[in-house]
Chain A
Amino acid sequence: MTNSFADFDKAEMFFIIGSNMTEAHPVASTFVKNAVLNGAKLVLVDPRRTALADFATTHLPLKVGTDIALLNGLMHVLITEELYDKKYVESCTVGFEELKAKVMEYPPERAAEISGVPAEQIVEVARLMAANKPAMLMYTLGITEHTCGVNNVLSCANFQMLLGNVGFECGGVNPLRGQNNVQGACDMGALPNVYPGYQKVVDDAAREKFEKAWGAELSPANGLMIPAMFEGLADGSVKGFYIFGENVANTEPDIAHVEHCLEEAEFVVCNDIFPTETTRFADVVFPAAAWSEDDGTYTNSERRVNRVRKAVEAPGEAKPNWWVFKEIAKRMGQDWEADSGQEIWDNEVSMLAPQMTGIKFERIENDGLQWPVPDLEHLGTPFLHKDGCFTCGLGNFKAVEWTPPAEVPDEEYPLVLSTGRRLYHYHTRTQTGRSGGLNDLMGEETADISLADAAKLEIANGERVKLSTRRGSVELTARVTPEVQEGMVWMAFHFREACANWLTNPVYDPVSQTAEYKACAVKLEKA
């Protein structure tokens, strides 16, 4: 996020798009609700009528995968009615003319036709946003999990920059991170193109720096992203596969294909705390210490590096993951010095990643610090791009075109399937499914369908239904609900049997390689 959670309850205007916050980030949503009770306005953009709709000034129930058309439509109004922040655009941004040219192709009527949101409502919301500044824009996976995910993000940024809302307290573009340490795993360089601190592997200076620090020669070529790794397993170019923690056999789209790839691997290693659908494919499984059994840090969505502490002993012979990697390195010929979470952070991470220079364990005993923290006196950075000063000079408008999801409904698969998380569970339930009580509160997955579709197909609430896509099919219980719009089915990926990923489409954003979990074509029938 460019901004902080501390801004949420002080904000006066929100634009929340593709984020079911009350279930996926419940505590963050409480601050939004506090602000609304104090008079803040909230525009909610979501195909479903999620719980925040009760707090929204306006809810825009767009069709799945039409975000760019809608945002372009909103910007069309801002530009033609001259409601955008001219001063900000002139002094803080570049690329306005290109943006304008593209946006002009999306008058509200056309945006309405694509998105299903009435043109009058688009005009109204554009005016509302122009009249209430700054506004915080928040988004989650409803924006990124599309084949046009990166363009969706750019479109959100365009919208906020046009309004002059980036670089201020209670403004900005704020993606809420799905998992506790997605931010941290990126910061640490668990990405094929960057070292810790986003230093590029193709950059000679950066590579030399890390070669010196690690005393090893490093590859100058970008590595593979996850989808390419699976393809590599299938075609034999990848032989050894190391899976740390992820239950890829349930979380990746198109389970049948993923499992086929794992079967093809010559040698699979897993670190995990439980046997999972994925560890079945392993040749070696290392038992890992879990949360609460080791010392270290997580970095949250607002870039805050928080301490995680050991409170209990790991069971049996389970060991910290960092120790496992260190031992393998030793057996492959490298002795690493650091021998605890603190030594790894203080002596390596904070020395190598410039954003982390000022963060040491002793400084984050209580509240964590928000990077960048350039020196040991610095108190952290609650919001980025202060007063519109972008890190790379000026904010860059990037005109983007709307593109539909890779698979759209047709005669055979007439509905749209969209997926996500539910309140009582987390991912594949390896943790929540084993925590007393949570399973009792939600013991099975449902197919959430609209009243209209239920009536059409004569499906009653609680009845068993079958969902099929070109990848596979699952049987589960129907939940008939006004939350879901006509033509749409919604479900989560928490349960193995009725896991959405038997159905989801393994197509990816060309840049981020994020899969299109949010949209594919599906057939709904009685089981």
Chain B
Amino acid sequence: MAESKLKLNGVEVEFSPGETILQVAERNGVDIPTLCYLKDCTPTGACRMCVVEVKGARTLVASCAMPAGEGMEVQTDTDKVRVARRLAVELLLSSGVHNCLVCEANGECKLQALAYEYGVDATRFPSPTEIYPIEDDNPLITRDFSKCILCGRCVQACNEVQVNRAIGFGYRGAEAKIVTTGDRPYDQSDCVFCGQCVQVCPTGALTEKKAKGLGRSWETQKVRTTCPYCGVGCQLWLHVKDNRIVKVTAVEEAQPNRGRLCVKGRFGYDFVNSPERLTKPLIKEDGEFREASWDEALDLVANKFLEIKEKHGPDAIAGVSCARSTNEDSYQMQKLFRAVIGTNNIDHCART
């Protein structure tokens, strides 16, 4: 069926029916800027950043929402297109209060990146005078609507990706705003704090509260790992600065979670920094723990196990491994029990 062809910047390319112009361009390595477009969701055509020229069309068309058509001739980077995109960025910037100096999204903000790319310095339009108060009553997500460009990505993430149906568009015209049912704060709504809306927000309107002030995107290192909670095994990026995890995001396009996380995976990371962590081996003496060196504690355990084995046989020792720790840790523990102690008394709480 993949017989259909169109011309992209003068080059003939194939497409399959149902593909949008944007998808065809992406597949062929042609970059078209987007803001509101969220992969695998229904295109809304809200921001008009992705406009392109299509020969014969009266106006510029939004490539994210326009199906590719047989014989179309598409230009993605003409003067007309650049002017339109520049205007779109200007309008979006002026619709809110964007102070990049103190914005958490600085460096990761798509709007900022586009302003840079299209040379929008200050804006020709006045900024709004009325400013929304910042909402951060809840412990995890900060909402700053004066930075919201109403692209609707959060609404799609919540309704089409996570299907938690906690937020949507509310009010009309200049009053338009993203709201929960009854326009209540997140912690009094149906929100389950998966943070998907934060992950997809292209500006600083939705940010991780716990990450505030801990590091700019260019100062942090990204380390890929697997979530330590349930058996789905979601793939995470740990954003690390100065030996500390400052935030967690999902790895896009990775199996099995394809860019999604839940509240535990996204926000349950900072237990590792708890001051209650065990940091020294402990030995109990007269009912109280005292700190000990590794050598002393290891010798004690080895000798005690040897003694029990000698006196009562290897089966008088039993062990429970950990279903939370790594494969390598479990492998080593069962090897210790089988090959060194000499018993198969090794189990784990496989059943919970």
| Cα A326 to Cα B210 with chains together (Å) | 38
Q: How far is the CB of B184 from chain A (nearest CB, A)?
A: 15
Beyond A196-B334, A437-B140, is A226–B320 a contact (Cβ under 8 Å)? Answer: yes
Q: How far is the CB of B290 from chain A (nearest CB, A)?
A: 11
Question: Is residue B170 contacting chain A, with contact meaning CB distance below 8 A?
Answer: no
> In residues 165-186 of chain B, which contact A (Cβ within 8 Å)?
none
Interface string of B291-325 (1 = CB under 8 A from A): 00010011111111110100010111111111111
Determine whether the beta carbon of B301 is less than 8 Å from that of A328. Answer: yes
Determine whether the beta carbon of B260 is less than 8 Å from that of A327. Answer: no
Determine whether the beta carbon of A242 is less than 8 Å from that of B320. Answer: yes
Question: Is residue A394 contacting chain B, with contact meaning CB distance below 8 A?
Answer: no
Question: Is residue A307 contacting chain B, with contact meaning CB distance below 8 A?
Answer: yes
Beyond A27-B261, A190-B321, A321-B325, is A273–B331 a contact (Cβ under 8 Å)? Answer: no
Determine whether the beta carbon of A300 is less than 8 Å from that of B343. Answer: no
Which B residues are in CB contact (< 8 Å) with A307?
A: 224-226
Residue from B163, B264, B318, B323 within 8 A of A229 (CB atoms): B318
Count, chain B residues at interface, CB 8 A: 111
Q: How far is the CB of A25 from chain B (nearest CB, A)?
A: 5
Beyond A179-B231, A325-B336, A349-B331, is A435–B269 a contact (Cβ under 8 Å)? Answer: yes
Interface string of A484-520 (1 = CB under 8 A from B): 0000000000000000000000000000111101000
Residue from A5, A27, A191 within 8 A of B347 (CB atoms): A191
Stretch at the interface among A84-92, A113-121, A402-410, A424-432: A424-432
Stretch at the interface among B71-79, B109-117, B274-282: B274-282
> In residues 246-297 of chain B, which contact A (Cβ within 8 Å)?
254-257, 260-265, 267-272, 274, 276-284, 289, 294, 297
Determine whether the beta carbon of B347 is less than 8 Å from that of A431. Answer: no
Determine whether the beta carbon of A317 is less than 8 Å from that of B305. Answer: no
Determine whether the beta carbon of A186 is less than 8 Å from that of B350. Answer: yes
Determine whether the beta carbon of A436 is less than 8 Å from that of B347. Answer: no
Determine whether the beta carbon of B233 is less than 8 Å from that of A298. Answer: yes
Which B residues are in CB contact (< 8 Å) with A282?
A: 282, 284
| Cα A24 to Cα B229 with chains together (Å) | 9
Q: Which residue of B lies closest to A432 (CB)?
A: B268
Question: Is residue B335 contacting chain A, with contact meaning CB distance below 8 A?
Answer: yes
Determine whether the beta carbon of B347 is less than 8 Å from that of A287. Answer: no
Determine whether the beta carbon of B345 is less than 8 Å from that of A224. Answer: yes
Determine whether the beta carbon of A179 is less than 8 Å from that of B352. Answer: yes
Which A residues are in CB contact (< 8 Å) with B192?
A: 22, 26, 423
Which B residues are in CB contact (< 8 Å) with A284?
A: 281-284, 297, 300-301
| Cα A24 to Cα B352 with chains together (Å) | 12
Determine whether the beta carbon of B160 is less than 8 Å from that of A37. Answer: yes
Determine whether the beta carbon of A229 is less than 8 Å from that of B328. Answer: no
Beyond A181-B324, A244-B329, is A223–B346 a contact (Cβ under 8 Å)? Answer: yes
| Cα A55 to Cα B165 with chains together (Å) | 12
Residue from A26, A217, A349, A517 within 8 A of B262 (CB atoms): A26
> In residues 158-197 of chain A, which contact B (Cβ within 8 Å)?
176-193, 195-196
Stretch at the interface among A41-49, A289-297, A383-391, A454-462: A289-297
Which B residues are in CB contact (< 8 Å) with A186?
A: 348, 350
Determine whether the beta carbon of A5 is less than 8 Å from that of B232. Answer: yes
Determine whether the beta carbon of B279 is less than 8 Å from that of A437. Answer: no
Determine whether the beta carbon of A244 is less than 8 Å from that of B331. Answer: no
Interface string of A226-254 (1 = CB under 8 A from B): 10010010000111111111101001000
Question: Is residue B119 contacting chain A, with contact meaning CB distance below 8 A?
Answer: no
Which B residues are in CB contact (< 8 Å) with A517?
A: 352
Q: Which residue of B lies closest to A252 (CB)?
A: B349
| Cα A193 to Cα B243 with chains together (Å) | 41
Interface string of B201-240 (1 = CB under 8 A from A): 0000000011000000000010111111111111100101
Which A residues are in CB contact (< 8 Å) with B234?
A: 27
Question: Is residue B330 contacting chain A, with contact meaning CB distance below 8 A?
Answer: yes
Q: How far is the CB of B308 from chain A (nearest CB, A)?
A: 5
Question: Is residue B194 contacting chain A, with contact meaning CB distance below 8 A?
Answer: yes
| Cα A179 to Cα B264 with chains together (Å) | 13
Determine whether the beta carbon of B298 is less than 8 Å from that of A331. Answer: yes
| Cα A5 to Cα B233 with chains together (Å) | 10
Which A residues are in CB contact (< 8 Å) with B210?
A: 436-437
Q: Which residue of B lies closest to A302 (CB)?
A: B256
Count, chain A residues at interface, CB 8 A: 149
Question: Is residue A80 contacting chain B, with contact meaning CB distance below 8 A?
Answer: no
Stretch at the interface among A28-36, A102-110, A128-136, A471-479: A28-36
Question: Is residue B244 contacting chain A, with contact meaning CB distance below 8 A?
Answer: yes
Which A residues are in CB contact (< 8 Å) with B231?
A: 25, 176-180, 182-183, 300-301
Q: How far is the CB of A517 from chain B (nearest CB, A)?
A: 7
Residue from B269, B326, B349 within 8 A of A294 (CB atoms): B326
> In residues 332-360 of chain A, which contact B (Cβ within 8 Å)?
332-334, 336, 341, 344-345, 348-349
Determine whether the beta carbon of A297 is less than 8 Å from that of B327. Answer: yes
Which A residues are in CB contact (< 8 Å) with B321?
A: 185, 188, 190, 244-245
Residue from B139, B194, B302, B323 within 8 A of A437 (CB atoms): B139
| Cα A287 to Cα B283 with chains together (Å) | 11
Q: Which residue of B lies closest to A248 (CB)?
A: B320
Determine whether the beta carbon of A441 is less than 8 Å from that of B326. Answer: no
Residue from B221, B267, B336, B342 within 8 A of A218 (CB atoms): B342
Which B residues are in CB contact (< 8 Å) with A198?
A: none
Stretch at the interface among A10-18, A63-71, A308-316, A444-452: A308-316
Question: Is residue A329 contacting chain B, with contact meaning CB distance below 8 A?
Answer: yes
Q: How far is the CB of A202 from chain B (nearest CB, A)?
A: 9
Q: Which residue of A lies closest to B279 (CB)?
A: A316
| Cα A296 to Cα B229 with chains together (Å) | 16
Determine whether the beta carbon of B278 is less than 8 Å from that of A240. Answer: no
Question: Is residue A96 contacting chain B, with contact meaning CB distance below 8 A?
Answer: no
| Cα A299 to Cα B320 with chains together (Å) | 18
Q: How far is the CB of A64 from chain B (nearest CB, A)?
A: 17
Which B residues are in CB contact (< 8 Å) with A299?
A: 233, 327
Q: How far is the CB of B134 from chain A (nearest CB, A)?
A: 17
Q: Which residue of B lies closest to A300 (CB)?
A: B233
Q: How far is the CB of A371 from chain B (nearest CB, A)?
A: 11
Question: Is residue B340 contacting chain A, with contact meaning CB distance below 8 A?
Answer: yes
Interface hub of A55, A176, A293, A308 (most chain B Cβ within 10 A): A308
- Which B residues have a C-beta under 8 Å from some C-beta of A? 138-140, 160-163, 187, 192-194, 209-210, 221, 223-235, 238, 240, 243-245, 254-257, 260-265, 267-272, 274, 276-284, 289, 294, 297-306, 308, 312, 314-352
5 A-B pairs, CB-CB below 8 angstroms? A6-B256, A145-B351, A179-B323, A185-B321, A300-B233
Q: A30-B161, A328-B336 are in contact. List 12 more A-B contacts (CB 8 A).
A: A25-B230, A223-B344, A242-B319, A244-B329, A245-B324, A273-B278, A287-B279, A291-B324, A292-B225, A306-B235, A317-B294, A348-B331
